[in-house]
Amino acid sequence: MRRIFALTMLLAALVAPGVAQGEPAPWQAVVSGQIAAFRAQDGAAALGFAGQGFRMQFAGEPEMFDEAIAAAGYGAIGESRTHSFGAFNRISETAVLQVVTFVGADQLLYEAVYQLADEPDEGWRVQGVVMRRAAGLGI
């Protein structure tokens, strides 16, 4: 069921028109913070940027969060050299889809769609990510 939801979110992000971008959106700092935490292999910090469902699932075992993300095929995020923000789609006042492009350690490109929610008393948090290998090479 999670995969179907994630695929639906990916398609919505790619098909829906992006909002014009001028200055950084408030949720982008959360995405960048989580990416930096994954690069540092700091599961506790990475989990702090995740949504409540993830925080509850990995409560008391934040290092397992980092390991679970890598084991699920998202290791390119933590191994990436750089990332950049693409289009985003504001689904509602409290939900957004954000496209992020990564240059992997292998210099391959990866594209991810982050689903974020503005959680009460927490602010923007990552609810899920769908990632795929993109065409091209990074420099």
pLDDT > 70 in the chain, percent: 84
Q: How far apart are CA 35 and CA 119, in angstroms?
A: 19
The sign of the dihedral angle between the CA atoms of 23, 26, 27, 30 is positive
In order of their start, the domains of the chain are 2-14+26-137 (3.10.450.50)
pLDDT of residue 124 exceeding 90: yes
Average pLDDT score over residue span 49-73: 91
pTM: 0.81
pLDDT of residue 134 exceeding 60: yes
